Structure formats: structure tokens, C-alpha cells
Chain A
Amino acid sequence: MSTRITLAKGLNMGLRKAMEDDPKVLVMGEDVGKLGGVFRITDGLQKDFGEDRVIDSPLAESGIVGTAVGMAMRGYRPVVEIQFDGFVYPAYDQIVCQVAKIHFRSKGFTKMPIVIRIPFGGGIGAVEHHSESPEAQFAHTPGLKVVACSNPVDGYWMLQQAIACDDPVIFLEPKRQYHADKAELDETQAPEPLFTSRVVRTGTDVTLLAYGPTVKTALKAADAAASEGKSVEVIDLRTLSPLDMGPVYDSVRRTGRAVIVHEAHVNLGMGSEVASRITEQCFYNLEAPVLRVGGFDTPYPPSRIEEDFLPDLDRVLDAVDRSLEF
């Protein structure tokens, strides 16, 4: 029953399954047809579902999202592909002013079951605008739900769950992981609900929080820390809006220490909100301030030095040590 798949394959299979299950599901975006998307996530879908359901769009992001809004009003469930994170901004107005607000504005008469898929994060040696992490800008917007997958199995299930959701979902995919590690997918194994975080490694000394591309880094850091006798618990947040803080509070109440890791800029990033909530809810359990590790508060740098910008194993371990020493 089970197969070994990459994240790219998991997302592709998830899309295919959603399109098979519901004829109202459409895929829209630049190069999603014959090419199968620049990352091949929509590979083969146009051939099997036709040009009416897998729509190569003109090169205009606001147009893609704005027409998806109209399709949703007509009863369709568009899955929009934004080619790269840094190209979502032309659609920002449609996402923030329309996609996010139409259900509220219309008192629930008009639903917006749109999924906006965004390959995000760096580490692929790209030119400017191809390595960004804009999640906080969407998590800050009421009316949107924001999730980030970190592995092939979650990619398969979370995408289907996002498509089935009647609220608009910003779906973040760690592009560096698309064709990296394979994992075992058992389609008979029922998934967890979409808007939940998950403990992916248990530990007792420090709670390490991550999502998307930094989950892998966090797990490596936990391995390395273990070799030094430090027990690190790793939580994959998975959902950024709403946040699922229950498992985080449970963990921090046990460990008394928390470190959050993301590629996005630290200033007003997801880590700021998570740290604030932990402080409010776990104040008397904390042995150290909640620490944040992330991209610097600079534009994303040229790729030859991007690994210095990105939170790597050493910077995460350094934060873990600082937390333990506090």
C-alpha cells in the first residue's frame, strides 16, 4: 500500500486526488499546464484533467488571484499556484482586501474556498525574489488561514485538506525540500486534522519550534544536541494561522525553555507572536526567555552568502545552548 515519495510527488498526488474527488477543483497559475509548473508540482494534471481545469494563466498574479475569486463566487474551488514567494506581492491586494474579506463582507453568503500555493524559503541558489518567507504578512491578515507543510506525507494530506476547507488557505511549500528527502506514504493511514501542530521528536530539556523548511534543521539540531547529552523536543507548527498552541504550551510547561526557528526575518515574524503567547500562558514555567532564530532583518542576500542568512544547524544549537545556560 505504501510508496516512497518526495514532497513534490506528495503535492502532485494530493492535487490529483482532490481533482478526482471534486470536479469543482481547478488549478490555475503560470506554466502549470504542459510544463507542469516550474517545480513540476502540477506535472501531468492538464493532460488528464484538460485545459478547463488546469489553467495556464497570463503572467499577472493579481489577475490570477482576482479571477480565482470570481471562479469561487461561481462555485469553483480554485487552487492557485504562485510561481515563487517574491512574486505574490502583485496579488497582495486581491489576497488581503478581497480573498480574506469577502466572506466577512457578505455575512457568509459568499464563500472563498481558494487555496493559494506558495513555494517559499531559500537555499536553492536563486536570484533575488525567489527565496523569501512572507508568511507573517498573511498570518497577520484576518480571514486567511495559513499553513506550511514540511514533509512529503504532510504535503499529500495537508493540500487535500486545504482544498476541502471552505475558508481561503495560504499554503506554503518549502521549495528546497521539493525534490530532497523521500518518505513513506501510506494512503490508508488517516491524517491528523489540518490546523494542528505536532510533536515530531520528544525531549525534556528544550522545546524547539519550527515549520516548513526549518523542521529539518530543527531535527538535525536535536540529533546533534543529543550527542552532547541535551534532550530537545521538536514541534512542527504546521499551521501558522490559526496557531495550534496547545501542544506547544504542554511541551514548554515540561521543558521550561523554548526556541523558535524560521527563515523569515525575526522582527515581527511568527516567532514574535509565538514567544508572546508562550510568555502569556507559561510565564511561571519558563526558565529562560523564549529565543528566536531566523533570517536577519535585511533583504534576502545574494545566493553565494544565503547560507549565512538562513538559520543553520549551528545557529539553532547556539540558541539552544543560550537557552539552557540562562
Chain B
Amino acid sequence: MSQAEFGPDLVKVFGPSQEDGGPELVQLLTPEGERVHHDEFDLDFSAEQVRGFYRDMVLTRRIDTEATALQRHGELGIWAQLLGQEAAQIGAGRALRPQDYVFPTYREHGVAWCRGVDPLDLLGLFRGVDHGRWNPNDNNFGQYTIVIGAQVLHATGYAMGMQRDGVVGTGEPDRDAAVIAHFGDGASSQGDVNEGFIFAASYNAPVVFFCQNNQWAISEPIERQTRIPLYQRALGFGFPGVRVDGNDVLATYAVTQAALQRARDGQGPTLIEAYTYRMGAHTTTDDPTRYRLSDDVENWKLKDPIARVEVYLKRNGLADGGFIESVKAEADELGVRLREGCKALPDPDPKAIFDFVYDEIPQELAEQRDAFAAYHASFEEAH
């Protein structure tokens, strides 16, 4: 008796979930800093553009290392590190137009940087003085969302709103808009992410699903989330998926720009899997030595997103030592500003607990607030 055949072995068809990026990895700059070309996603980058990416990545890494240090000094409650993911975030962030809208996770510090959100505002959230004080509509950069994957549905709904506002597929470059939804490999298992895919496909919504596959969901490796490469899942939902070298800022920029344009043009959603690695811990409370090999980390160090751009710039005479030094000096200045600024962030007034729970505060809550204020004041009078 032979067993019934249920189609081909999918792992044989698609490849395993993790194969050092796999053959379909879009790459424009190798880890050694060599510029390579791609049939579909190639772009001409000016020297100024590449220097800009370099500067963005160095400054973003400085935000991350300063914040990590501030947490160690007790100035932040926690910090979600992005070390190693600078290229994925800067490539995606710089591909956006002002009218596009970003829905981040809590790790999108590089995208926040690209959108002009003050890094001190990010520190405020992790210090615990607020839940993120930036106005999402100032920079079209949504609030950090802690619940894994929840923002993917918000992004899809926002994109559906754009469709109704007539800002999709008009052919006017300054008018047509798209949404980018950030999430990670762990989130790809969440129902909300999969429902976001389904809604976006059903309504052909202008949204780019940007998954940073950093290989780890806290301690769980990518194999716990998927048997096949994540980008392949898009086909099952009815839209294209592409895997890009997330440590290659040029490739990430090129692929994201193409996907965003596709969305703006009214051609619907795309899934981008930015293949990268979380070099640090999940957050400052995590200890990755308990669950992963240092060999892996050492291998990924050779694929550093910043080092390859520096080699490329120097080798091709696109930047001199003066430029590299000036970026370093700028990072030092940013570090000072963050250290001093973080410590100077004021604690909120305890009565702020009651602010903005509602647009129109109910009488019963106002009474609770006033009673608390009177209780608080009674201590001051006692002094």
C-alpha cells in the first residue's frame, strides 16, 4: 500500500526557512563591499545618497548604543536594541515619501530617525515617562506598538482609508501614497498579521508588509515560526513576496522603493522579507547566551551593514577620511545630547494618569481625578 500523495514536499520546492538568505536573496552590495547587480531591482545610487545612508546608519547605531548604556546606568527601564538591523531600517525608511505612512513595532528606531522623530522621544517611552510623545501625524510615523503584530491591521485599515481618499493610483507623484507595516519574524505567526495580509489582498490595499527576519523571537529561532522562507508565504495570500538582504542598505532601499511605488500605483500589497540578524539581545532584559551560539553571531558580524558601505565608499573614492571622521563627530554630539537629554526628561505629573483616557472625560472619572488631586494636596499641606 502506498501512501496518498498530497503534492510536492514544500521544503524541497521553497527551500528551508533559513539557508543563509537563499538563492533568491536580492543583494546590491556584498558583505565585502562589492557592488553587484540585480536584474529586477537595480538602481543607480549617487555618492551623496550612499554617504547619506552611511551617516543615517552610524547615527542610528549610536542612538542604540547610547540607549543601551543609559539602560545599564538605570536611566531607562528597558531598551529594545536594533544592533545589526540598521540597513533594513534605513533602506526602508529612506524609500518613503513624505505622504507615505509608517506603522512601526517598538524597534523601528532607524525608521523613526528617517522620519524626523526626535530620538529623545523614543527614550521617553523606554524611560517610562510616557507611551511615546510624538504626534503620529507630524511625520506620518505611527506610535510604537508593543502588542506583537497588532499594528499590521492598523496599517491595512489606514491604507484602505487612503484608497477612499483617492490618493492611490492617480499618477501624481506627490499625491499617490502608500503605507508600510513593520513587523518581525515572530509576528509572522500572529493572527493579526495574517488577517492583515488577507484584508490587504481582498481590497488590494496600498500597503507594504516589511518583515525584518532577524532570526530570533526572543529565544525562539525562525524554524519555530516557519518551515519555508517567510517571503514565500505571500503567494498563498495572493500577492508577491521578495527576500532582500536586510544588511544591504542599497538592496533594501531598492526593493522597498519598488514595492511602495507598486502600492502607490494601485497594484496592491507586497511582502518584503528583510533577511537580517539581531546582533544584540531581544531587549536589555534578555540574555541570548542562554539560547544561541556565539559562532552564529561571529558569522553575522562579517556581514555588518555599516562596514560594507564604509569599504564601498572608501574603495571607490566616494568618501574620504574626513567624511568618516565628521560622521563620527556628529555621532558623538548626538550621544551627548541623548545622555543629557534623557536624564533631563521630567517625570509626568501623577495627575496626568487621568489625562486623555477619553476625549470627553466622564463625570465619574473626573471625580476620581479630583479626589486623587485633593488626596495628593493633603500631603503638601501637611508639610
Q: Which residues of A contact B (CB under 8 A)?
A: 26, 52, 57-58, 60, 62-63, 65-76, 90, 93-94, 97-98, 102-111, 142-143, 145, 165-167, 195, 241-243, 245
Minimal beta-carbon separation of A168 from chain B (angstroms) = 9
Kindly state the separation between the CA atoms of A72 and B160 in the bound complex, as whole angstroms.
11
B153's contact among A69, A74, A110, by CB below 8 Å, is which?
A69
In the complex, which residues of chain A have a beta carbon less than 8 angstroms from the beta carbon of B158? 70-71, 73-74
Residue of B143, B154, B196, B358 near A167 (CB, 8 A) is B358
Within 8 A of A (CB), among B170-219: 191-192, 195-196, 198-199, 202
Q: Are B161 and A75 in contact (CB under 8 A)?
A: yes
Q: Inside 8 A of B161's CB, which chain A residues have their CB? A: 70-71, 73-76
Q: Is the CB of A67 within 8 A of B357?
A: no
Binding site for A on B (CB under 8 A): 130-133, 135-137, 142-143, 145, 147, 150, 152-165, 191-192, 195-196, 198-199, 202, 355-360, 362-365
Contact residues in B for A74 (Cβ distance below 8 Å)? 157-158, 161-162, 165
7 closest pairs, A vs B, by CB? A70-B157, A66-B153, A74-B161, A67-B157, A242-B362, A63-B195, A70-B158
Residue of B136, B199, B365 touching A67 (CB-CB under 8 A): B199
Give chain B residues whose Cβ lies under 8 Å from the Cβ of A70.
153-161
Chain B: which residue is nearest A57 at the CB level?
B199
In the complex, the answer to whether A63 meets B357 with C-beta atoms within 8 Å is no
In the bound complex, CA of A195 to CA of B147 (Å): 31
Chain A residues, Cβ within 8 Å of B152: 66
Q: Give the residue of B131, B137, B157, B159 whose beta carbon is less than 8 angstroms from that of A66.
A: B157
Q: A74-B158, A104-B357, A109-B137 are in contact. Are A195 and B196 (CB under 8 A)?
A: no
Flag if A66 contacts B360 (CB, 8 Å). no
Taking A73-B142, A74-B165 as known contacts, 7 extra A-B pairs with beta carbons closer than 8 A to each other, sorted by chain A number, are A65-B153, A66-B154, A66-B156, A67-B154, A71-B157, A103-B359, A242-B364
Which residues of chain B are near A76, meaning CB under 8 Å?
161, 164
- In the complex the two chains form, is A69's CB within 8 Å of B191's CB? no
With A70-B160, A73-B154, A74-B158 as contacts: A110 and B195 at CB distance below 8 Å: no
Contact residues in B for A63 (Cβ distance below 8 Å): 153, 156, 192, 195-196, 198-199
> Can you offer 19 A-B residue contacts whose CB atoms are under 8 A?
A66-B150, A67-B157, A69-B154, A70-B154, A70-B155, A71-B160, A72-B157, A73-B158, A74-B162, A76-B164, A93-B147, A93-B150, A98-B150, A98-B154, A103-B359, A106-B131, A106-B136, A166-B359, A243-B364
Asked if B365 contacts A242 (CB within 8 A), the reply is: yes
Give the docked Cα–Cα distance between A105 and B355 (Å).
10
> B153 and A97: CB pair below 8 A?
no
- The CA of A63 and the CA of B156, in the complex, are separated in Å by 9
B202 neighbours in A (Cβ, 8 Å): 58
